[in-house]
Amino acid sequence: MLLGLKRDLRSEKRDENGDWECVMPQEGYRVAQEMRCDRYAECSAVTGELCWEVLEDITRTAAGTTTEGKGLSQGMECNVM
């Protein structure tokens, strides 16, 4: 699962090159697909926006990545970037 943070800092402004000043949701989804992530979500710890929903989603996704023998699925790893 790829998680976008600092949702509260998102602006709709573009820089001098015409690029977004922040990561927009569609870019997050694209990167998640490239990384072969099961899910993409975003939240803001400052405002609390979507934090509980993200935690529930992470829990459901993690629970779905275990095998019948309760071991982790092969090839699963967690990275913080």
The structure's pTM equals 0.66
Q: Is the pLDDT of residue 60 over 80?
A: yes
Long-range contacts of 52-56 (CB under 8 A, 24+ apart): 54/3
Please give the residue range of the domain that contains residue 32: 2-63
Q: Is the pLDDT of residue 1 over 90?
A: no
Kindly state whether residue 70 falls inside one of the protein's structural domains. Answer: no
Q: Which helix (H) or strand (E) holds 30?
A: helix 25-34
Kindly state whether residue 75 falls inside one of the protein's structural domains. Answer: no
Number of other CB atoms surrounding residue 48 within 10 Å:
10
Q: Which pLDDT does position 69 carry in this prediction?
A: 58
Q: What percent of the chain has pLDDT over 90?
A: 26
Q: How many domains does the chain have?
A: 1
Kindly state whether residue 81 falls inside one of the protein's structural domains. Answer: no
Number of other CB atoms surrounding residue 77 within 10 Å:
5
Kindly state whether residue 19 falls inside one of the protein's structural domains. Answer: yes
Kindly state whether residue 80 falls inside one of the protein's structural domains. Answer: no
Kindly state whether residue 20 falls inside one of the protein's structural domains. Answer: yes
